[in-house]
Amino acid sequence: MKFGHEILKQADLLATFTEDAPRVTRTYLSKEHKLAGDYLIGLMRDAGMTADYDAFGNIVGRYDAGVPFAPIVMTGSHQDSVRNAGKYDGLFGILSPIACVKELNRQGKRLPYTLEIVGFGDEEGVRFGVTLIGSKAMSGNFDPVWLEKKDATGVTMREAINAFGGNADAWRELDRRGEHHGEVVAFVESHIEQGPTLLNENLALGVVTAIAGATRMTVKVTGLAGHAGTVPMDVRQDALTAASEMILFVERFCRENEDLVGTVGRLSCLPGAINVIPQDVEFSVDVRSGRNEIRRSAIELIRKEFAEIAARRNVRVEANPYFELSAAPCDEGLQKQFAEAIAAQGIQVRHLPSGAGHDAMEFPKVCPIAMLFVRCGNGGISHHPSETMTADDAEVATRALLHFFENFQPNEFKPERAQRVDRG
Ligand SMILES: [Zn+2]
């Protein structure tokens, strides 16, 4: 085995750079971020790359092309983690391409493009409540008002970036859309699936079709409170039973469409007394899909159904979307190249959407994107210490990634100009 065991060993070591051992927690601009970053920079340099931190604490390694004025292919994922995380989410997408470069360098081989590997400082948003800070900065999606966001101890992002040795005011220079950094022709990310699809189909790898978009709504149902003992059942205006019907509709509707997932994760009920009919219920709805048109029409249908349920039950309903994130479709040409790289390993090619967000989703404004998914063991659990990946899967994923890099063909440049409303 060329890559698998070594990558897993590196992931084990990185897991020791944690804020709350024996659990794995590594937040943006922490001491542990520095330890993990120094280790990754060391791996990059050993593999034959130049490597250092950028102004936001992102870890950036370059394996220069064998030709002058070459385009750039970016790859990478995030070094940070959620609280009590697994060992592979994010890190695999940094370690696996480093292993590819090490192998290319061992063979004395250069690529016709510069390969850049990025370990994004923040993706999960744990410390400052803003997600994808690294990739937002690099793709021109960073809003400088976020520099004033404070962590739980009152330290602003600006202070933390500068204390880390970076330069918070240099955020504009990180934007890769400009020519001054060289033309980026693709961003590709390898990542553990964080779900059970590949596992259930006994496949080690998959090609991501799109990173799902999401719509979030707050739904307010208003009925009429009354005495639990005296108001007859047939004249009640019970906000909670109406809301229950609405919530079950979201589940049923999303279940019937394989391109949709829907979740009600929050609910409050007032007055909240055992002997009073519920009057004011508020709940959240989160609907996601890899396809924008399916998500949008689902939201319309759900709101229409809510209105009908409310009318039938003599309560009022307000269902207002307050957050919308466009799906980030993966480039067809790059998907094909990943499919070939997977087939070259003797693995049946499976396409699947990503329900979770990833660094790659910030890049469609810069260049075409693509993602390779690697099987997630233990029922597909992630954001949890039980997250697993086998050495065999790490091996075959790295071989496929190397095949992709060695055979990469740039596509016609088609930036996506999708509007995003409130990134929340
Ligand atoms: Zn991740």
In a shared domain, residues 342 and 293: no
| Ligand 1 center from residue 272 Cα (angstroms) | 38
294, 194, 197, 296: CA torsion to nearest 10:
0
Q: Name the average pLDDT for the chain.
A: 95
In a shared domain, residues 187 and 224: no
pLDDT tens per residue across span 373-408: 999 999 999 999 999 999 999 999 999 999 999 999
Q: What total number of domains does the chain contain?
A: 2
Asked if the structure places residue 421 within a domain, the reply is: no
pLDDT tens per residue across span 272-320: 999 999 999 999 999 999 999 999 999 999 999 999 999 999 999 999 9
87, 88, 92, 93: CA torsion to nearest 10:
-120
CATH number of the domain to which 229 belongs: 3.30.70.360
pLDDT tens per residue across span 119-149: 999 999 999 999 999 999 999 999 999 999 9
Residues 145 and 129: their CA atoms lie apart, in Å, by 13
| Ligand 1 center from residue 76 Cα (angstroms) | 10
Residues 304 and 323: their CA atoms lie apart, in Å, by 19
Both structure tokens of 277: 């009919």
Residues 199 and 295: their CA atoms lie apart, in Å, by 26
| Ligand 1 center from residue 300 Cα (angstroms) | 30
8 Å CB contact between 320 and 218:
yes
| Ligand 1 center from residue 78 Cα (angstroms) | 6
Q: Which amino acid is at 115?
A: L
Q: Which residue has the tokens 């979030």?
A: 216
| Ligand 1 center from residue 136 Cα (angstroms) | 15
In this prediction, residue 419 has a pLDDT band, given cuts at 50, 70 and 90, of very low
Asked if the structure places residue 414 within a domain, the reply is: no
| Ligand 1 center from residue 96 Cα (angstroms) | 14
Full residue range of the structural domain in which residue 317 is found: 213-325
| Ligand 1 center from residue 191 Cα (angstroms) | 7
In this prediction, residue 66 has a pLDDT band, given cuts at 50, 70 and 90, of confident
In a shared domain, residues 344 and 295: no
| Ligand 1 center from residue 195 Cα (angstroms) | 12
Average pLDDT over residues 308-333: 95
| Ligand 1 center from residue 400 Cα (angstroms) | 19
| Ligand 1 center from residue 371 Cα (angstroms) | 12
Kindly report which listed range (194-203, 313-322, 337-346, 412-421) carries the lowest average pLDDT score: 412-421
| Ligand 1 center from residue 202 Cα (angstroms) | 22
In a shared domain, residues 145 and 225: no
Q: Which of 302, 325, 348 is the last residue of a domain?
A: 325
Give me the pLDDT at residue 412, please: 58
Both structure tokens of 135: 């990739």
Q: Which residue has the tokens 């007859």?
A: 232
